[in-house]
Chains A and B, each alone.
Chain A
Amino acid sequence: MIKRLQMKSWYEEKGRRLLKDVFPYLGLIFVLAVFSILTDGAVLKARNLIMIFKQSIIVMVGAMGSSFVLAHGNMDFSVGGSMALASLAACTVGRINPYLMLPTCIICGVLVSFLVSSIHVSIGVPAFLSTMCVMFIGKGIVQSFTGSGISAPAMYAAWDETWVYAVIMVVMLIVSVALFNYTNIGRFNKLIGSNPTAARLSGINIGKYKTLAFLLSGFSVGIAAFLTLLRSGGVSGQTGQTYEIDVIIVLTLGGAPISGGSGVKMRSSILGALTYYALSNGLILYGISPEVVFIVKGALFLTIVALTFDRSNRI
């Protein structure tokens, strides 16, 4: 009898885990299905799907880096400002030598994240504050310097091809998954997010691994900034405008717990980004005005957080 009870709860636990795993997939399928009916299949046309794909990759890449930060329980609000700064720097340097554009993006992203994490780790300012300040500073600088916009070197127009995006995404995914699941960087960040006190008492160098997480986030923002330049052809006051919010919504949509810890998975970036852009795209194709799309995004974010937020530690 006890044996049977144990079996039953065993299945229940397995079932719960399975449900958590498939939920983000179901979300994506659901969104695609609903809008293909509403738009008479317009969403599923090849050209449209490719557009969704290209749009989502920019956020996907940023979300992969942000996953490391989210894993240890922080949110990186600096990614939008950092992307704007990296784009500005890259366009400026690109005038001197077009080939320096990608390295400039990456260096700039990493430098900004190093600054942010140093303020957080060494001085102890909460990360959401230090990153948010950098977001404003970055966007402010870019808006005051770009004016009507600075364009990227003309040679990059030819690079705005789907395969370029796909290659970059696949490489980033492989690197991220390897670091996240098969090295101490990913594991320790997840453990820090799960219980910082236990992490310290288990010998984890918390400052070091938090910093590494931010640096990875900065690196991926650099890549994302490069993709933005490919896609938009230059930098303007609008560059990286809602990027930090997009990244966080994407991670949540993909099933990552906002409280961090071991529930953060790399697949959240991909599933979340595809779902998010399929939804925006579907809403616009259905004829809903872009302003209303914002309302839908906000409501969606709230709903998901309310449904998935881990309440076990709530007082």
Chain B
Amino acid sequence: MSENYLFECRGLSKSFGPTKAVVEVDFSLPRGEIRALIGENGSGKSTMCSLITGMLKMDSGAMTFKGESFTPGSLLDSQKAGVSILLQETGTIGALTVAENLFLGREQNFIRHGRLDKKAMIDSARAACTHLGLDIDPSLPAASFSFEERKLIEVVRAMQDDPELLIVDETTTALSQAGREIIYSLFKKLKAEDKSAIFITHDLGEMMAVCDSATVLRDGHYVETISKEQFDESRIRQSMIGRQFTSGYYRTDENDESLRDDDIVLDVRGVSYGRSVRKVSFKLRRGEILGIGGLTDCGMHDLGQLMFGALRCDEGEVVHIESGEAIRSPRQAIGLRIAYIPKDRDQASVFLQSEIRDNVAVAASDKLQKHGFIMKRAEKELVLRETGRLSVKMQDIKQLVKSLSGGNKQKIALSKWLANDSEILIMDCPTRGIDVGIKAAVYRLMEQLKGEGRSIIMISEELPELIGMSDRVLIMKNGRLSAEFFRKDGLTESKIIETMI
């Protein structure tokens, strides 16, 4: 094995029971390189990272790190050797201060005369945060910070060990542009110090901008490593799913002439909520895909819940035009055939411990009843039809949703609303954390629904999909609408980003 590689592995394999997660993967990472690890959900990216960091033990194969054989038995082992990982989930402990979180397990460095020198700890914590461009008060408990800030506190913690290899596992999905910038600048710093990073992301635009090369995995197998010069979105996608897209990824039409300004389905009138949404007004047209974008904490996620009645407006109202009713509760909204797909799929959208059948039929249960009893046959037909329409990969409708892959769970969440014949669909980050194949399926579904005259509000943190799918894009900033863009005028990223920050 060559000396100039920081990390190398040969024939790396790992199985979970009958499932082969990683199969005979060869992978070598030179010093000073930022390498992307990409592939569809379940292609083995996260498993590979777990093997490298010692969280899982490999079945067979060999790894070398800094030219020496490397067999970490635990996360701590790999940390000591110089490998740090930023995980998609996990987090900071809310009740502890930022400083305590940062130096968890390293308190002995701050012991003076048998006592913990809190001031010294807080000072070092402040220095560490500032060093990475994070301006927060480390003496406050972690719980007082936003999700994004807590994620960045983890970044600071990971950098405490001064790692030579940093692994970032989809952390940026949870971050806004500003937070992402911090990670990107971290990559630059590592590169300048001749250190390396492995970056897992579903966002190909981001990947191509920050990585030097990309290794593609498919079904646990190594496919290829693409260098920066050969980066091309469609080529990478093709490599990831192993087949060609027959049609475009996003919508291909330039403009939808059939939308009429006098055919309104939902009217948002001066809605305010706490400090997150301030006097927002807009109208949703029939058959329109309306994109709403902005930074994570701009208020767009709360706005989605307000339109569905899951949150109550402090001021203003959301009016369903056909019925003339103002929306006050999810139950009422569902009755008016409005659907809401929450951002957090597992926590708020699907019932993991329940059967596919119940998950899909729940919103439509009123029409599946006769004299108070559920009509089992009609229900089965409905569930099979809706899951079939989205080609959900499942054994039967009695399978528990928790055993499905992430993308298929999202399809179940969508099926629930299709089963209720929803006319207005509010989707909050509908493609968050799902792979390109299923993303494309969601986009096709949106086009199809639009074609049937249904209206969609897509709230998203990903500009490419807002641009690619929307008839109109609204941008929010600090709780207010800051800009409006129309598809017919041509949507570009640079124009939109300016209005976000």
Chain A 118-133 interface 0/1 with B at a Cβ cutoff of 8 Å (1 = within): 0000000000000000
Question: Are B219 and A2 in touch, CB under 8 angstroms?
Answer: yes
Which of A187, A198, A205 is within 8 Å of B349, CB to CB? Answer: A198
Given A191-B362, A201-B310, A184–B403 Cβ distance below 8 Å? no
Number of contact residues on B: which range applies? 35 or more
Which of A183, A188, A200 is within 8 Å of B372, CB to CB? Answer: A183
Question: Are B373 and A182 in touch, CB under 8 angstroms?
Answer: yes
Residues in A neighbouring B372, C-beta threshold 8 A: 183-184
Residues in B neighbouring A9, C-beta threshold 8 A: 17-19
Question: Are B358 and A14 in touch, CB under 8 angstroms?
Answer: no
Which of B310, B335, B353, B362 is within 8 Å of A261, CB to CB? Answer: B353
Q: Does A144 contact B (CB under 8 A)?
A: no
Q: Does B20 contact A (CB under 8 A)?
A: yes
A-B contact pairs, 6 of them (CB 8 A): A182-B373, A183-B374, A184-B369, A201-B348, A201-B349, A262-B355
Given A5-B20, A200-B310, A202-B334, A261–B373 Cβ distance below 8 Å? no
Closest A residue to B376 using CB positions: A182
Q: Does B293 contact A (CB under 8 A)?
A: no
Q: Does B199 contact A (CB under 8 A)?
A: no
Residues in chain A within 8 A of chain B (CB atoms): 2, 5, 8-10, 12-14, 178, 182-184, 187-188, 190-191, 193-195, 197-205, 259, 261-263, 310, 312
The SS class assigned to the A binding surface is helix
Residues in A neighbouring B342, C-beta threshold 8 A: 201
Question: Are B400 and A187 in touch, CB under 8 angstroms?
Answer: no
Question: Are B330 and A201 in touch, CB under 8 angstroms?
Answer: yes
Given A183-B374, A184-B365, A5–B353 Cβ distance below 8 Å? no
Question: Are A5 and B18 in touch, CB under 8 angstroms?
Answer: yes
Nearest-Cβ distance from residue B498 to partner chain A, whole angstroms: 34
Given A182-B374, A202-B330, A203-B363, A8–B18 Cβ distance below 8 Å? yes
Nearest-Cβ distance from residue B475 to partner chain A, whole angstroms: 26
Closest A residue to B369 using CB positions: A184
Chain B 373-398 interface 0/1 with A at a Cβ cutoff of 8 Å (1 = within): 11010000000000000000001000
Question: Are A12 and B310 in touch, CB under 8 angstroms?
Answer: no
Nearest-Cβ distance from residue A205 to partner chain B, whole angstroms: 6
Nearest-Cβ distance from residue A148 to partner chain B, whole angstroms: 47
Residues in B neighbouring A202, C-beta threshold 8 A: 330, 334, 362-363, 416
Please provide the 8 A-B residue pairs with the shortest distance between their CB atoms, ordered closest to farther. Answer: A203-B334, A261-B353, A194-B351, A262-B354, A8-B18, A203-B331, A194-B353, A194-B354
Instruction: Add 4 more A-B contacts to A184-B365, A261-B351 (CB < 8 A).
Output: A184-B372, A190-B354, A198-B347, A263-B353
Given A183-B374, A203-B330, A310–B20 Cβ distance below 8 Å? no
